[in-house]
Structure 1
Amino acid sequence: MVSGRLPPLPHLSWFATHFPRAQFVRTGFGIDRTWSGRVALVNKHLCDKFVKALKIRENEVIVDVFAGHGAMTRSLLAGGDEVGSSQRWEQAAKSLLAVDYTTARKGGTVKSPLLPFAWLEDREAIPKILENLKNVPSEVPGDSSAENAPGPTVKPRLVVAFEPSASLLIRGLGVPEEYLRAEGNLLLEREGKGPERLYQSTCDPRLRIVCGQPYYWNNLPAVIEHEDIAEDLVASGTIKIDTDSPDKAREHWQNHTPHLTLVIQPSHKPFGESLVSQWIASVIGAAEGEPTWIWKWGRVRLAVLVSKTMYDRMMAQPGELSNSKLSILTHALYDVKPLPPRHHSPNVLNKGRKVKDELRFLPSQSAREGDLQAYYDAMDLSRDETWPLDFNPSPWGESYSSKVPLERPDVLGLLLEPKVETVITSTQRYTWEYVLRKCMAKPLHPISRAIHAIGFGADKLIPLIESVSSEYKGDPVGPKEVARDMSIAQWARVVDVVDKWKYKPVEASSLAHVVLKSGRGGDDD
């Protein structure tokens, strides 16, 4: 097999032609769930910045979930140097490709990078181009990759592209259609038992591809523990935790850092956001030696590209307008860091539609003003300029123009690194869910009023919540403290008091509507 790289994707203005919106919705070949509302980052410069900010570690194994047409996959394989790598490809391909890809367009002439036509019209030329790449210098004239993503280039040991849409895999990553049609080559729905072999790219041997549905809970672990990547996982230092011994599992969690990262670009629809919310909560119990799902491999990093509304909820701090149940759980369980494309707006209004650059406080929020200001003083608030064509499908509409930059990116990045220790324990996981869901339903109510939603007689718990006694976890909460202003330590006090209450509602012990292990259900507000 000739080593090298995947042929580059087309010019941004041609994406809609080669990757119609319908390809992000349809799956085919027996994959039974559609995914509307998907938006992928396709600008090579921004993908490179994302990968550089991710700081790939030596021998890293990366699973690219919802890989789409492979724009992010290519940057991951290049270690954040896809801009320079695609320019080197063009140098190697100039004398070999028979088709002229210079096309007359309004306002001048536009030249497309030399693919995706290579999959369709010049497939035979690819091995020759890959051979020519060996003679192309590491830097070619006009290579601007360094200015986009400074720092050393560290390439991953292996990238696994996990995508439910067969047509995107065929057109974007070059998977042969006959391979997808062959029996046993798809990840079996719900069962997590297949495929027999992961497809290895003929262009880059470091790329494995699997066509399957990430929505089902068992499928992602089935990919991670597949025998085709077992050797690479061992080389990356990723070892499955021995769950039979809680003490050993706890020690492994605390002292071992696996070089395994999941990159996720979920749907912006409610079921996509619900999926990410469940993944976030699924880490509960791992720090105590009871890991489930992907956490059986240790503190796996999650790098997510989510909608701006979900980003605001995940990043919100106590006292901010978007602070919610999801905000509290995210910061209690993970160390959170923004990734490109960056455009953080402090104290943004709900739904991310109205961007406010300055901090705004309601009267009840003044107590948190100093904490919030200190938080943002220590945070990188740089912003990346983005355009509609930087995303596919592009956010076309009455308020969008290809000649005007977006007021705020439709997709924003976050890196979630699980905490070694967390205040949320496995024995109280359902109490946390219940208390936050009930109390944050009316976030501007003081806790002395919000506590009534817990159940009949819950007002009797107020003295215990206010007490400075060390009998309960966390920090005491004043009766006038507003629910949206409360810190994680204060919520720990409320949850601990409710959990030890002899009249605790049954729902707080086992939530039927929140399923953290099955991959279905749950709310994220």
Structure 2
Amino acid sequence: MPRLRLPPLPGPERFAKAFPRTSSLALEEGSKATGGGSRESIRRMTLANSTIANKFVRDLGIRKNELFIDAYGSCGVLTRALLAGGYDETKPSDWANVVKEIGEENVGVKADETMRIMMGKFDFPPWNVDEAPTTIIPEVPKDLNLPVAVVAQEPWVSALARGLGLHPDIVTPSKYERERPLSAEREESLAEEDIVYQSHLQPNLLLSTSSPYHWTSMPQLLSHPLVASKMEVVDPTKEGPAATQRSWDAPTPNITMVATLPDSVYGEQILNQWVCSAIGSENYPRSWLWSWGRVRLALMVPKAMYDRLLAQPGETCHGKLSVMAQSLYHIRPLPPYHHVPDADKPCKNTDTTYDPLGMSTALKNKKNRQYSVAAPPPINEVTQTYNDDFLQFFSKTVYTRKENPRPPLLGVELVPRLHSVIKAEQRDLWDFVLRKSFLREITCLSDNLSKMAFGAENLVDRFFEPAGGRFAGQPINPYTALPREMTNEQWLRVVDVFDKWAFKPDNLLVDITAAEASREIGQS
């Protein structure tokens, strides 16, 4: 039976006191909300129900000797579930044994010890462990795989300190966070700050205060000696991180990145750029996580992002993200489940009904619509959740326990495809064509062509040519096809026709705002 050396978490009703919603983030000098991950923490939400977290991990599945990076790990609900393989049965008595073994003075930070004034005063753990609720766990299988290591990556230092026992003074505090001056020895030791720390409680738990928002943070984590030592050596003739890296067509690595994304513009940026970063080829090598092969992603995303990731051709939410994600990844839902066929963009619809043909009842009642392809199973299972199953950071709202019509966060697994219709050489053209087309998603493709480029309306005959001829992809009737209803193979035809057009635009950049141009993530 999996037993962790971490204190069992409080019930959802006590989370607000253990992890205050209004706790401040670390602030950078001269700024009010840019440090410690605050920029991407706007409208951040984390799972506070350990039963749902364990179900997420069980349905995801853990492979032998698998390494997990729990990005935006927060206070450690999913982290604990990952460490226990989805069967966390840790009880207050187990924690009492750990305290007895290492001594109460060594379990974690004590009130008034830390030099970070924005941390709050607390004794670790900042909740009554004896009141921890019982997690509903099925029978533990005999062949259960446990991860070789879990890296909890969380830029909010207070969350790691309160939830997983990281001593906050290990991480360099800003001058605004120091309650008293540091000694010269302490200043010198902090000058060589690390990005990964070994947990003093759980042997296979590593902690990192780096931010997933920064493009370089993931490669740095996987290259760190503490993390690299947990990974399989692929090429023994090489040294360092290069020995653990593999080609795209090699067997998938036992590495999974788990992440809970914020419901904000930064969450949208992170998801879009993570998805599109899998585009590459031998001549256009992939960077980021993909240097280690086809790493699996397991995300908890806001329902609006979930609906777009899984929206099928003909459905209301089918858009650029749907086309890119489904072309590049094998996608399936994960807990909490609540898949809505043809979901509306405001996410108010909660109907999960599909008819035997795989067409949603919502679509069946609409004229001139193609059949919708049912999403990957399970499509009919619904996870019942309550509003206090999810903790929203930096909100002063006081929740009463109330049933959610639909969970605000939904799970989804993305496994990179070995081969994709999106070629690296056409990456910018895919982005250009999809952006231009979905600006007028309910206008026929033939009417959109003139908006894409001068003279493009003269290309219509090429879209009718049969498959296997001059152009890749499937033929399409541009006079009736709506962008929202087109399949990925039909989009390939549009992109390939543009790519082989002698007068295609030289500048494929679509106008973006200054804020989008200045974001750091994705600058590979």
- TM-score class, shorter: 0.7 to 0.9
Which position in structure 1 is the counterpart of 2:387?
Answer: 388
1:234 is displaced (CA, Å) by: 2.3
Which position in structure 1 is the counterpart of 2:170?
Answer: 179
Which position in structure 1 is the counterpart of 2:288?
Answer: 293
For residues 415-451 of structure 1, what are the alpha-carbon distances to aligned partners after superposition, in whole Å with 9 as ceiling and x for unaligned? 0000000010111000000000000111111111122
Which position in structure 2 is the counterpart of 1:132?
Answer: none
Does the aligned pair in 1 maintain the 2:71–2:259 contact within 8 Å? yes
Which position in structure 1 is the counterpart of 2:180?
Answer: none
Which position in structure 2 is the counterpart of 1:18?
Answer: 18
SS of residue in 2 equivalent to 1:252: coil
Which position in structure 1 is the counterpart of 2:370?
Answer: 368
1:355 is displaced (CA, Å) by: 2.7
**Is 1:337 paired with 2:332?**
yes
**Is 1:472 paired with 2:463?**
no
Which position in structure 1 is the counterpart of 2:431?
Answer: 433
State how 1:12-411 maps to structure 2 within 5 Å: 12-23=12-23, 26-28=25-27, 31=35, 33-34=37-38, 35-82=41-88, 84-86=89-91, 89=94, 92=97, 118-119=124-125, 144-146=136-138, 152-181=143-172, 195-196=193-194, 198-234=196-232, 252-286=247-281, 290-358=285-353, 359=360, 360-361=362-363, 366-369=368-371, 371-372=372-373, 375-376=374-375, 379-393=378-392, 402-411=400-409
1:503 is displaced (CA, Å) by: 1.7
SS of residue in 2 equivalent to 1:462: helix
State the AA in 2 paired with 1:481: A
Q: Rate the CA distance shift 1:424–1:51 in 2: closer, same or farther, 3 A.
A: same
Q: Rate the CA distance shift 1:339–1:205 in 2: closer, same or farther, 3 A.
A: same
Does the aligned pair in 1 maintain the 2:441–2:483 contact within 8 Å? yes
Does the aligned pair in 2 maintain the 1:48–1:81 contact within 8 Å? yes
Q: Rate the CA distance shift 1:316–1:377 in 2: closer, same or farther, 3 A.
A: closer
What is the TM-score of this pair, normalised by structure 1?
Answer: 0.79
1:29 is displaced (CA, Å) by: 7.3
Q: Rate the CA distance shift 1:195–1:223 in 2: closer, same or farther, 3 A.
A: farther
| Mapped partners of 2:314, 2:236: distance in 1 | 40
Which moves more between the two structures, 280-289 or 173-182? 280-289
Q: Rate the CA distance shift 1:239–1:363 in 2: closer, same or farther, 3 A.
A: farther
For residues 125-169 of structure 1, what are the alpha-carbon distances to aligned partners after superposition, in whole Å with 9 as ceiling and x for unaligned? x9xx9xxxxxxxxxxxx774116x878532100011111111111
Which position in structure 1 is the counterpart of 2:410?
Answer: 412
| Mapped partners of 1:502, 1:511: distance in 2 | 23
For residues 98-142 of structure 1, what are the alpha-carbon distances to aligned partners after superposition, in whole Å with 9 as ceiling and x for unaligned? 9xxxxxxxxxxxxxxxxx9643599xxx9xx9xxxxxxxxxxxx7
1:366 is displaced (CA, Å) by: 4.5
SS of residue in 1 equivalent to 2:230: helix
| Mapped partners of 2:237, 2:387: distance in 1 | 42
Percent of pairs with identical residues: 30
Number of residue pairs matched by the alignment: 467
1:33 is displaced (CA, Å) by: 4.5
Does the aligned pair in 2 maintain the 1:281–1:516 contact within 8 Å? no
Which position in structure 1 is the counterpart of 2:179?
Answer: none
1:501 is displaced (CA, Å) by: 1.5
Does the aligned pair in 1 maintain the 2:67–2:149 contact within 8 Å? yes
Which moves more between the two structures, 275-284 or 253-262? 253-262
Which position in structure 2 is the counterpart of 1:111?
Answer: none
Which position in structure 1 is the counterpart of 2:460?
Answer: 462
Structure 1 regions of 5+ residues with no counterpart? 99-115, 130-141, 189-193
| Mapped partners of 1:239, 1:299: distance in 2 | 20
| Mapped partners of 1:491, 1:352: distance in 2 | 26
Does the aligned pair in 1 maintain the 2:338–2:352 contact within 8 Å? no
For residues 276-311 of structure 1, what are the alpha-carbon distances to aligned partners after superposition, in whole Å with 9 as ceiling and x for unaligned? 110110010057772211101000011110100111
For residues 177-228 of structure 1, what are the alpha-carbon distances to aligned partners after superposition, in whole Å with 9 as ceiling and x for unaligned? 2211366988x9xxxxx85362111110101111122211111111111112
Which moves more between the two structures, 281-290 or 489-498? 281-290
Q: Rate the CA distance shift 1:239–1:270 in 2: closer, same or farther, 3 A.
A: farther
Does the aligned pair in 1 maintain the 2:385–2:404 contact within 8 Å? yes
| Mapped partners of 2:307, 2:27: distance in 1 | 34
SS of residue in 2 equivalent to 1:299: coil
Q: Rate the CA distance shift 1:329–1:357 in 2: closer, same or farther, 3 A.
A: same
SS of residue in 2 equivalent to 1:449: helix
| Mapped partners of 1:430, 1:151: distance in 2 | 49
| Mapped partners of 1:367, 1:151: distance in 2 | 49
For residues 309-351 of structure 1, what are the alpha-carbon distances to aligned partners after superposition, in whole Å with 9 as ceiling and x for unaligned? 1110111010001101000000000000100011101111113
Which position in structure 1 is the counterpart of 2:356?
Answer: none
| Mapped partners of 2:236, 2:426: distance in 1 | 28
State the AA in 2 paired with 1:488: N
| Mapped partners of 1:487, 1:395: distance in 2 | 41
SS of residue in 1 equivalent to 2:274: helix
Which moves more between the two structures, 260-269 or 486-495? 260-269
State the AA in 2 paired with 1:473: A
SS of residue in 2 equivalent to 1:341: coil
Does the aligned pair in 1 maintain the 2:36–2:155 contact within 8 Å? no
| Mapped partners of 1:502, 1:270: distance in 2 | 37
Structure 2 regions of 5+ residues with no counterpart? 30-34, 105-121, 173-185, 354-359
State the AA in 2 paired with 1:146: P
SS of residue in 2 equivalent to 1:506: coil
Which position in structure 2 is the counterpart of 1:138?
Answer: none
1:171 is displaced (CA, Å) by: 0.9
Q: Rate the CA distance shift 1:183–1:432 in 2: closer, same or farther, 3 A.
A: farther
Does the aligned pair in 2 maintain the 1:438–1:454 contact within 8 Å? yes
What is the TM-score of this pair, normalised by structure 2?
Answer: 0.79
| Mapped partners of 1:416, 1:501: distance in 2 | 34
